[in-house]
Amino acid sequence: MSDPLWTFDDMVSAMKGRPIGAHPPAIGGISIDSRTILPGEAFFAIRGDTFDGHDFAGRALSAGAATAVVSEARLSSLGKVSGSLVVVDDVLGALEKLARASRARSVARVAAVTGSVGKTGTKEMLARALAPEGEVHYSPASFNNHWGVPLTLARMPASARFGIFEIGMNHAGEIEPLTRLVAPHVAIVTTVEPVHLEFFEGIEDIARAKAEIFLGLVPDGVAVVNADNPHAGLLISQARMAGVRRVATFGEARDADARLDVAKLKPECSCVSAEILGEKVTYKLGAPGRHLVQNSLAVLAAVALLGGDLASAALALGSMSAPKGRGERVRLAVPGGGKATLIDESYNANPASMRAAIAILGQAEPAKQGRRIAVLGDMRELGPAASELHAGLAADLVAARVDLVFLAGPLMRALHDVLPATLRGGYAETAADLEPMVAGGIERGDVIMVKGSNASGMWRLVDSLKAELAAEADGDPAQDLA
């Protein structure tokens, strides 16, 4: 039997908690969700935006939780609960203490990833690249905020050889406490882009906020910076100010430490040769897009800096595939016969990821009379520049040889107004209203790429298209010719 995640005693003493009731021998995992908790896990009654975990502590214990961590202030309001409790002053604070204890006991080499886009993708790619070396622990989904980071860290098994953490932010000051908790050996900033502009004076302030990630680096830790980004200089000087002695850069720039030599961008994958910290590597990336090639340079630099083997890491990247919402390909059955390909990019959007997705559509090869179709929803949180940033996509759509564009949302009107008339497929205020126009417009051999901010609801449009046009699991575009 493998060791438990925590012994009850170690967990309680890390949090300086007060146990009440039974002492379970071991804690198998940490959960903050009573709907998904597994027997033997500890339930932390965290307060979210809309829920307070204390309202679900009883339910978690009935579902088999080994214990529930609750606050002193809410203890009396819990009523009669049967099972073990650990009482603390503040539950989130207790989770952070447990996370700190987890980091302190760990022998893992640790990486932290931030950036305006590409955090999750880079984290997943790095996890894949390190997997041949040994046990890798990494954040699920985008667990990158004030509870996601401590939760992921508290869940790290003592046996993990590598830990990879995504750290995100909407405001200045949010990354610093999280990176100090994670104490990474390697801290990556994927890129700095105009995202969340609403909450910042300008893009330099965004760069400074991302550079907070360097404040948590262990004393001999390395900052990994995108050499091709216009804000690389600012990031590097912030790293120096944070006391970082070693910076490794990645990109196409000739003096980058992880330097791209050649990238062959294909519809379904990329073939890359690069020099990573002095070592030449040639590899295939199992998912397409120049942006993923860029991310892969950061990943391989991190592998080398964490002491992993570059050759096995590079080999592992060949089998990666684009996840749901981030480039996953799905086949659609077109009414009247034939197939079309849906590229599901519906997980969130900002100008940088929108351009990357439009470029991927440009690389795609529609079959016979098939067309490249873009279905785009609003990009939110862009502040006063929003209209301009939306309208600016027209040039990218033309450059990518997109044949038809469907648009949803009030901000996308600015793009609709400047699109060449031949490209206008349809416009609606909402994704739901746009869906029938898109479904009715798809023809045999088309490649359709859907993208928009989460709040724009384009993922619902993807779900409807899949349901309506009887999607099949595999996305082999060669079949479109059938």
Ligand X SMILES: Nc1ncnc2c1ncn2[C@@H]1O[C@H](COP(=O)(O)OP(=O)(O)OP(=O)(O)O)[C@@H](O)[C@H]1O
Question: Which positions lie near Mg ion, rule CB under 5 A?
Answer: 119-120, 142
**Could you tell me whether strands 41-44 and 67-71 are parallel, antiparallel, or unpaired per DSSP bridges?**
parallel
CA distance 29 to 6: 8
Out of Mg ion, ligand X, none, what residue 291 binds, judged by CB under 5 to 8 A for its kind, is ligand X
Out of ligand X, Mg ion, none, what residue 208 binds, judged by CB under 5 to 8 A for its kind, is none
Out of ligand X, Mg ion, none, what residue 345 binds, judged by CB under 5 to 8 A for its kind, is ligand X
List binders of ligand X among 104-133 (CB under 6 A). 115, 117-121
Question: Which C-beta is closer to Mg ion: that of 121 or that of 370?
Answer: 121
CB of 144 to ligand X, least distance (A): 6
Contact at 8 Å (CB) between 53 and 40?
no
Question: Which C-beta is closer to ligand X: that of 352 or that of 414?
Answer: 352
What residues have CB less than 8 Å from 463, skipping those under 6 apart? Answer: none
Question: Which C-beta is closer to ligand X: that of 68 or that of 117?
Answer: 117
Question: Which C-beta is closer to ligand X: that of 31 or that of 346?
Answer: 346
Question: Which C-beta is closer to ligand X: that of 37 or that of 408?
Answer: 408
**What does the block give as tokens for 137?**
């622990």
**What does the block give as tokens for 117?**
């886009």
List binders of ligand X among 315-354 (CB under 6 A). 326-327, 345, 347-348, 352-353
Three-class DSSP category at 345:
coil
CB of 351 to ligand X, least distance (A): 9
Question: Which C-beta is closer to Mg ion: that of 142 or that of 454?
Answer: 142
Question: Which C-beta is closer to Mg ion: that of 119 or that of 128?
Answer: 119
CB of 348 to Mg ion, least distance (A): 8
Of 152, 295, 296, 456, which lies in the binding site for ligand X, with binding defined by CB under 6 A?
295
Contact at 8 Å (CB) between 458 and 408?
yes
CA distance 200 to 195: 9
CA distance 79 to 82: 10
φ and ψ at residue 412, rounded to 5 degrees = -70, -10
CB of 30 to Mg ion, least distance (A): 20
Question: Which C-beta is closer to Mg ion: that of 142 or that of 312?
Answer: 142
Of 100, 259, 291, 371, which lies in the binding site for ligand X, with binding defined by CB under 6 A?
291
Question: Which C-beta is closer to ligand X: that of 97 or that of 355?
Answer: 355
Strands (E) located in 6-148 = 6-7, 18-20, 26-27, 29-31, 41-44, 67-71, 85-88, 109-114, 136-138
Of 276, 300, 357, 407, which lies in the binding site for ligand X, with binding defined by CB under 6 A?
357
CA distance 361 to 333: 19
CB of 378 to ligand X, least distance (A): 15
CB of 268 to ligand X, least distance (A): 15
CA distance 108 to 251: 27
Question: Which C-beta is closer to ligand X: that of 106 or that of 190?
Answer: 190
Contact at 8 Å (CB) between 184 and 217?
yes
- Position 231 contacts ligand X (CB under 6 A): no
**What does the block give as tokens for 241?**
């100010």
- The residue type found at 241 is M
- Position 168 contacts ligand X (CB under 6 A): yes
Residue nearest to Mg ion (CB): 142
Length of the chain: 482
Hunting for tokens 């490649």 — which residue is that?
447
Out of Mg ion, ligand X, none, what residue 118 binds, judged by CB under 5 to 8 A for its kind, is ligand X
CB atoms within 10 A of CB 59: 15
List binders of ligand X among 190-209 (CB under 6 A). 190-191
CB of 219 to ligand X, least distance (A): 27
**What does the block give as tokens for 155?**
């869940």
- The residue type found at 407 is L
CB of 120 to Mg ion, least distance (A): 3
- Position 356 contacts ligand X (CB under 6 A): yes
Out of ligand X, Mg ion, none, what residue 442 binds, judged by CB under 5 to 8 A for its kind, is none
Cα dihedral 150, 453, 458, 426, rounded to 10, equals 180
Contact at 8 Å (CB) between 199 and 171?
yes
Contact at 8 Å (CB) between 334 and 260?
no
CB of 114 to Mg ion, least distance (A): 10
CA distance 66 to 25: 9
Out of ligand X, Mg ion, none, what residue 353 binds, judged by CB under 5 to 8 A for its kind, is ligand X
The b-or-e profile of 73-88 (16+ CB within 10 A means b, else e) is ebeeebeebebbbbbb
φ and ψ at residue 103, rounded to 5 degrees = -65, -40
Q: Applying CB under 6 A, what is the total number of residues that bind ligand X?
A: 23
CB of 20 to ligand X, least distance (A): 38
CB of 253 to Mg ion, least distance (A): 26
Residue nearest to ligand X (CB): 118
Question: Which C-beta is closer to ligand X: that of 213 or that of 334?
Answer: 213
Residues engaged in binding ligand X (CB under 6 A):
115, 117-121, 142, 144, 168, 190-191, 291, 294-295, 326-327, 345, 347-348, 352-353, 356-357
